[in-house]
């Protein structure tokens, strides 16, 4: 008997679980189109990870009644939302838009100033998702990202805090200061599918 409906074609392509979010320096790594960050660059345990890509469109209509003739894209955005569980000086500094890739080495010692906001630092973000079969990965690379989120640490009596942060992809092509020509045809980054190294 034949089956109907949306039957699974490849069980190895079903995502289950969270991506590991790695953060590093943007300027030092902008010429690398492949993943360069390693597990030690991870921000640690996460409560969730969510990739989003949105496109705004303009539509041409004509006639009476108006009917659509054409749709044109006018802007694109990409971001990754996650919530980290490990409340360290480095992670909180990232959440405040600070480049914490150096100088924040201790999990329990350090300081983050309040009331001195500046433009969020440019960082490299790689979200490494390993499929359940362990053989395949999807890696989301933002070569120049900014963290733009309100810092909120929700302490709970019977659960760990989960601090939400949002990485927004910014241009990294050769026409922007701090960019590289390797990103000219994918200026905000890329999604790479590969065998697990």
In DSSP notation, 166-181 reads EEEE---STTSTT--G
The predicted pLDDT at position 161 comes to 92
The predicted pLDDT at position 117 comes to 87
Pairing status of strand 136-147 against strand 123-130: antiparallel
Residue 131's contacts (CB-CB under 8 Å, 6 or more residues apart) are 12, 13, 14, 15, 16, 137, 138
The predicted pLDDT at position 3 comes to 85
d(CA 37, CA 145) in angstroms, rounded, equals 14
d(CA 24, CA 28) in angstroms, rounded, equals 9
Task: Report the 10 Å Cβ neighbour count for 171.
Answer: 16
| Residue 36, token pair as written in the block | 């360069």
Cα–chain center distance at 104: 21
| Residue 42 DSSP label | B
Per-residue pLDDT of the chain (197 residues; tens, 9 = 90+): 688 899 999 999 999 999 999 999 999 999 999 999 999 999 999 999 999 999 999 999 999 999 999 999 999 999 999 999 999 999 999 999 999 998 899 999 999 999 988 999 999 999 999 999 999 999 999 999 999 989 999 998 999 999 999 999 999 999 999 999 999 999 999 999 999 99
Percent composition of the chain: helix, strand, coil (DSSP 3-state, to 5): 10, 40, 55
Pairing status of strand 163-169 against strand 20-25: unpaired
The predicted pLDDT at position 1 comes to 66
The predicted pLDDT at position 2 comes to 84
The predicted pLDDT at position 50 comes to 97
Burial 1-36 (b: 16+ CB within 10 A, else e): eeeeeeeeeeeeeeeeebbbbbbbbbeebbeebebb
């Amino acid at each position: 008997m034949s089956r109907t409906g949306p039957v699974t074609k490849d069980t190895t392509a079903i995502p289950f679980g969270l991506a590991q979010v790695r953060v590093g320096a943007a300027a030092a790594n902008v010429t690398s189109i492949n993943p360069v960050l390693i597990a030690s660059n991870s921000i640690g345990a996460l409560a969730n990870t969510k990739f989003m890509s949105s496109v705004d469109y303009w539509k041409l209509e004509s006639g009476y009644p108006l009917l659509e003739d054409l749709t044109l894209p006018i802007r694109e955005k990409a971001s990754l939302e996650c919530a980290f569980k490990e409340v360290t000086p480095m992670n909180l500094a990232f959440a405040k838009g600070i480049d914490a890739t150096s100088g924040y080495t201790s999990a329990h010692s350090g300081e983050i100033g309040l009331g001195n906001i500046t433009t969020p630092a440019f960082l490299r973000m790689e979200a490494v998702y390993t499929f359940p079969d362990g053989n395949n990965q999807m890696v989301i690379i933002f070569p120049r990202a900014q963290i733009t989120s309100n810092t909120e640490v929700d302490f709970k009596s019977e659960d760990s805090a989960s601090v939400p942060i949002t990485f927004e992809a910014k241009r990294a092509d050769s026409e922007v200061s701090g960019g590289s020509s390797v990103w000219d045809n994918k200026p905000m980054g890329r999604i790479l599918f590969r065998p697990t190294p």
